Amino acid sequence: MLHSPAPRSPQQMTEDFPSVLDRPVAWWTSLLVMLAALTVPILAVAVPPLTDYPNHLARCYILAFRKSDPVLSQMFSVHWRIIPNIGVDLVLPALMHAFPPLIAGRVMLALCLLLPVSGAVALSYAYFRQRSFWQIAAGFAAYNALFFLGFMNFELAIGIALWGGAAWVRYREQHLSATVALGALIATIAFFFHLVGFCLFALLIGTYELEVIFRAGLRTPVAVKIAATRVVLLAATIAVPAMLYVLSPFGKVAGAIEWARFKDKVYNLLVPFQDYSFWLDALLIAPVIAFLLLCILTRRARLSPAGLLSSLILLFGYAVMPRGMKGGYFADLRMPIMLGFMIFAAFSPVRLTSRQKLAAAFLFAALFLARIAFITTVWLQAQRDVSDVRQVIASVPSGSAVLAADVTWHDNPEWFSSMPRSRWLPHLTVTYTHLAAFVLLDRRAFWSNIFAAQAQQPLQIKEPYRELRVVESPPPPYHLLAAKDFSPIELKRFPFLPDWSGKFDYLLVLNAEGAPDLENFLPDRLQFVERRGIAALLKVRK
């Protein structure tokens, strides 16, 4: 006699019937599609509008070809030393010998996107030992504010740290010796790519060790001995980079401390998902954050204790860290960027029905693709600026000295508020200031804003070009060149200002649409050559 099965509760049905998204083929396919979609904007353009990117490209071009180029070798020398910020300098010049510079640069940018995202996915799997569609949503954090600022070393380093943390959590208990040895290697690699990446790796493995120690307890002498052994092995893993930092010139760098305003601190919590439009960012990211909060409030969330502790430390670090320190800026913004990736690594939704999972996945996919389409559109529009700069400087002779200047908000507030979207990251900075790097890339001319700080890059400027260097970015506002007297702050940033016209051969003005008087600007010292869109070129009268 056949009997009908007993009716099941909705909760039992939810647990017994896995979502199609939990199947390995569907999950891997979704992950690969997400990673491929991240590369679409990079594949669509020749030069992405990322603030520091052209400068990194120019510096690595010098590192790659200086020895074989008599012009560049007269301007620059290379001095390798212990610097916790040289990942791009180690990799990109080698790529330039295999690919044209602009293609090699985009390969590096793709790594800057894919390494942190895939690292967050790997760390989540190490924490929870299961696949989840939420892990794939880590793609939302790939295009973050510091990526748009062109902080390539930082992005690569946190990717290395996330992958290293995942390996430590996954294999620490099964393969102790191999994991510690690999951890020491990853810590050292992360250090050379960027100091913050090393700090993130130390944080991830440190919080994991702390979780294990407290979970086991310290109630017996054996437990205390085991805990002490774990602490010693952790210290040994990070010892080499810690000593390297003490020995590095960066460890001795001083600099003014600058603090962000409270309202900026609150606003900049969105930087993990920020691009060129605040309102579009809010519209696209709000459902993702709402889903996260809803799962937590309804107890449909698993939280990794180690991941949660790391996230809280990052949040606290952001609250107390200054905006500028050691000669750098946006120091505090690195915390929320790392926190953005940790949101997808340290949290996992649970007890969702198949329908709820599918609905959330389709919504996230639509929002993600809309964001990729928006970024691609902005980048395609930005190519006009790149083309204009390269055409304007076509007459600059090799070996010339070019001073880049900028039209700032103080020069023309009306134009600044209406300039193309690709030139501005809301409430942060402009993105076009290093387009002048093409005078070096295309014309092999000296450019005053090349990154060559002794404690941060292996590149050094030779005499007599050294005195032409801008000490602190960005380039000077163009109206400053008409001044007769300069303040101590201006002279510190731009030491070449006195008699600047006797030191440079050309003036390249960026954001030039905001300065309609450039044809008649300082006619006794400058001869107007050409203007096209964003750029205007003037020749210094000798």
Least Cα distance to 190 among 271, 110, 105, 90 occurs for: 90
Contact in structure between 316 and 338 (CB atoms under 8 Å): no
Beta partners for 530? 537
Least Cα distance to 308 among 204, 234, 237, 227 occurs for: 204
What is the full per-residue pLDDT of the chain (542 aa) written as tens digits? 334 334 444 444 444 345 666 688 999 999 999 999 999 999 999 999 999 999 999 999 999 999 999 999 999 999 998 889 899 999 999 999 999 999 999 999 999 999 999 999 999 999 999 999 999 999 999 999 999 999 999 999 999 999 999 999 999 999 999 999 999 999 999 999 999 999 999 999 999 999 999 998 888 999 999 999 999 999 999 999 999 988 887 766 666 688 888 888 888 888 999 999 988 888 888 999 999 999 999 999 999 999 999 999 999 999 999 887 766 778 899 999 999 999 999 999 998 888 888 899 999 999 999 999 999 999 999 999 999 999 999 999 999 999 999 998 777 788 877 889 999 998 888 999 999 999 999 999 999 999 987 678 899 999 999 999 888 778 999 999 999 899 998 998 999 999 999 999 999 999 999 988 899 999 999 999 999 999 999 999 98
Q: What is the H or E stretch that residue 446 is in?
A: strand 446-447
Domain range list for the chain:
18-47+80-251+258-375, 396-540
pTM more than 0.85: yes
**Separation of alpha carbons 458 and 512, rounded Å:** 32
* Concatenated DSSP letters of 168-235: HHHHTTT-HHHHHHHHHHHHHHHHHH-HHHHHHHHHHHHHHHHHHHHHH-S-SHHHHHHHHHHHHHHH
What is the CB-side half-sphere exposure of residue 484 using CA atoms within 13 A?
Answer: 0
**Separation of alpha carbons 162 and 142, rounded Å:** 13
**Separation of alpha carbons 17 and 39, rounded Å:** 34
**Separation of alpha carbons 375 and 275, rounded Å:** 8
